[in-house]
Structure 1
């Protein structure tokens, strides 16, 4: 694969703690020979696992960004064994704009892998991550939330594994992290253009993701739970030298997210009124909400229904909705005792 055009003052082979920028070249009306700064930190201390932590693939998902910014400031090289690489705002233009996608190229970083070294900025960033940062990694953590438009149950997330050993490994990572819910997906929302797809191309690097709430805000309780979970996970895989003070929490609720064709979508433009809450258990065909019409307030609202039942895993946070906007998605109970693929269980 062609060499990346991104350069950096960071020496990823250097021992100790180093911080700086990936420099993504741009040429615009305002800056003929400019570069976009993407913050990066490397904390390296001898032999041990190589771990990559990423947040800000979607610029309006704040929780993971806050968590990784704090982690960069708190950790020193003596705290680790091996190497920790941190991208707290991976799609930096989207982060700066507070938007899901980049204002430079409308690029969604988690739909841009394997990228293109000669493409627009988002594609160049994806290419650098896949060709420079991912090779040699023992674990990748990709921190997401519902962003400005959605809200999720606090969850760890894995893509449905391709083998029994991978499934056991993923379950172990989810349980150590210890958020209240862990769910599996079929990966269809991102496919092989997601970071998980990149990890698969490089030999199946373990990749644990999250959905840390959303709604364009950050919760103190959830941030604390996620920070404690990450500390436990980094110690579990041998990177953190000192065991975290916060013990592992109790059991987690395991779900699999239904496929996108079974999400609930807005059938019309209007104001969305939800009739259920996150975490509620719903039945097939149950009322999900209503779409009201501000331009015709005398018109009866259009009801929307759940096609399949389960646990309300995600809801639209914004009241204003347009045709095709996702209003809800559902998680169904995943019983991994048989170590069966959760997506196959759903058929």
Structure 2
């Protein structure tokens, strides 16, 4: 990626890409490191890149394990160069900021090559996630059917449909891919800006099953897909936000079913230590998808995200 700074007028920043191709067949694009503080996917894809031989595949695998390389190098959600959140600037700009250039390259060069995209995430330093897979509902009925099939093959413990209204909307990779007719499976695999073995195992097994399902790399050793719990996030009413600054004391862990009005925890005021804490309650019934990881909380921070069960028909 070309970059010009005070100390490097004609410089560039390397972004690693691994391309493994053999003969004709579908192309799978595998991405991690969109956010630099999310590690399970990065490690899973580096392991895959080291283990696949061209003779084992029919088609092409394109692996980008550190897509937002400046953020990965810094261990940050956003780029230290321009403070850009890569999953909030799609479709990007060819002559924009560093982050916009990466998004533009993915949109214009990588996505048109893809038959399927897997985008691996976790909660980073601000959230802890129930390991899950996400698909963006498609207006095209056949593509929506295909997405449901693929997310079941990936087989995270929980899968959910979301159009990004909780964050990102039409500025995400999945939104850009939908306009091009490319199916995307997104995964959330842990959080707290640390590595979770369970999340990495889900990513590795899910990717291997998808590659086998598409006929790119037949894999007899990967575990058979378990049934995934299908859910959705219908709106922002399934999120609980902090209404003031304070210290967040959660009462319920991720992956637990709760009911509307149930006690969710406390928000303690550090500037008014003698006042009772604010009692929090869940705004809706559902499964806890994520909760805030750091204790220190500012007004407007997301404390919990919920999902509700749906039929996948």
Structure 1 gap ranges (5+): 1-23, 340-347
* Alignment counterpart, residue 272 of structure 1, candidates 248, 272, 287: 248
Whole-Å separation in 1 of the counterparts to 2:231 and 2:307:
5
Displacement, 1:295? 3.1
> Is it true that 1:112 corresponds to 2:89 in the alignment?
yes
SS of equivalent to 1:38: coil
Displacement, 1:334? 1.1
* Alignment counterpart, residue 243 of structure 1, candidates 214, 219, 222: 219
In terms of mean alpha carbon deviation, does 292-301 or 207-216 score higher?
292-301
Whole-Å separation in 2 of the counterparts to 1:124 and 1:171:
31
Q: What is the correspondence of 1:309-324 to structure 2 with a 5 Å cutoff?
A: 309-324=285-300
* Alignment counterpart, residue 214 of structure 1, candidates 173, 191, 200: 191
Displacement, 1:249? 3.3
Whole-Å separation in 2 of the counterparts to 1:222 and 1:158:
18
Q: What is the correspondence of 1:39-78 to structure 2 with a 5 Å cutoff?
A: 39-78=16-55
SS of equivalent to 2:219: coil
Partner of 1:262: 238
In terms of mean alpha carbon deviation, does 68-77 or 255-264 score higher?
255-264
> Is it true that 1:191 corresponds to 2:145 in the alignment?
no
Displacement, 1:47? 0.2
In terms of mean alpha carbon deviation, does 153-162 or 215-224 score higher?
215-224
* Alignment counterpart, residue 304 of structure 1, candidates 266, 270, 280: 280
Checking the alignment, whether the CA contact within 8 Å between 1:178 and 1:248 is kept in structure 2 is no
Displacement, 1:221? 2.8
Checking the alignment, whether the CA contact within 8 Å between 1:231 and 1:244 is kept in structure 2 is no
Displacement, 1:49? 0.3
Query: RMSD in angstroms over aligned alpha carbons?
Result: 1.3
Whole-Å separation in 2 of the counterparts to 1:101 and 1:54:
16
Whole-Å separation in 1 of the counterparts to 2:202 and 2:310:
23
In terms of mean alpha carbon deviation, does 316-325 or 280-289 score higher?
280-289
Given the superposition, is the C-alpha separation of residues 228 and 244 from structure 1 closer, same or farther in structure 2, using an over 3 Å criterion? Answer: farther
SS of equivalent to 2:90: coil
In terms of mean alpha carbon deviation, does 98-107 or 296-305 score higher?
296-305
Partner of 2:303: 327
Whole-Å separation in 1 of the counterparts to 2:142 and 2:176:
19
Partner of 1:148: 125
Partner of 1:130: 107
* Alignment counterpart, residue 260 of structure 2, candidates 266, 271, 284: 284
Displacement, 1:50? 1.1
Checking the alignment, whether the CA contact within 8 Å between 1:186 and 1:259 is kept in structure 2 is no
Whole-Å separation in 2 of the counterparts to 1:113 and 1:75:
30
Structure 2 gap ranges (5+): none
Whole-Å separation in 1 of the counterparts to 2:203 and 2:94:
33
Give per-residue Cα distances to partners, 1:84-129, cap 9 Å, x unaligned.
1111011111111111000100111111111111111100111111
Partner of 2:178: 200
Count of aligned residue pairs for this structure pair: 312
Displacement, 1:261? 4.4
